[in-house]
Amino acid sequence: MARFLEVSLERVSIFNTKHLYRYVDQNEFDFIKKHRIIYSHNIIGTYFTTFFTNSKDDAHQYLRIKKEQIYRVGGFPISYVLSLLKPHDLRKRYFLLKGYVQPIRKTIGGADEYLVKIPIPILKPYNYIYNLDSQQWVKI
């Protein structure tokens, strides 16, 4: 069940959803736009969270991400990501719940954090990425 932090016309934050989101900077956004995949340069894999927000400040506060990460990618239903991993035995190796992201300053919040070790293709339903600065959708 989703827990809401705040809902207003300007700001929405939901701690745990059934979807995966990634908050990225301009360089990673450009990579996603060019290659139409989400795949971190981190050799371990790509981190995702179940935390949804349209607020850069909330993303920084509750996920401990840098303020330069101004784009929200997703949400991809967890079931969609799992469907990319067949047979089922691959799921244990390539889709891992890493734990819970603790917020800054010991406030309530945070969210589940997943590590995905495969590229996630950007398909038609996910052709848009949200810019947290401009509060606008960007087509990729």
Residue 51 lies in a domain: yes
Look-up of token digits 């959708």: 137
Please compute, for residue 138, the number of CA atoms within 13 A of its CA located in the half-sphere on the CB side.
Answer: 18
Question: Is 61 inside a domain boundary?
Answer: yes
| Residues whose CB is less than 8 angstroms from the CB of residue 32 and which lie 6 or more positions away in sequence, other chains included | 24, 38, 73, 122, 129, 140
Is there a contact between 17 and 2 (Cβ–Cβ < 8 Å)?
Answer: yes
54-64 pLDDT, tens digit each: 998 888 888 87
Whether residue 125 is contained in a domain is answered as: yes
Q: Is residue 65 part of a domain?
A: yes
Q: Name the domain count of the chain.
A: 1
Domain ranges, residue 50 = 18-139
- Whether 13 maps to a domain, the answer reads no
| The model's pTM | 0.86
Q: Is 134 exposed, middle or buried (0-12, 13-18, 19+ CB in 10 A)?
A: exposed
Q: Is residue 9 part of a domain?
A: no
Residues 7-38 have pLDDT tens digits of 555 778 888 899 999 999 999 999 999 999 99
Rg (CA), the chain: 14
Is residue 119 domain-resident? yes
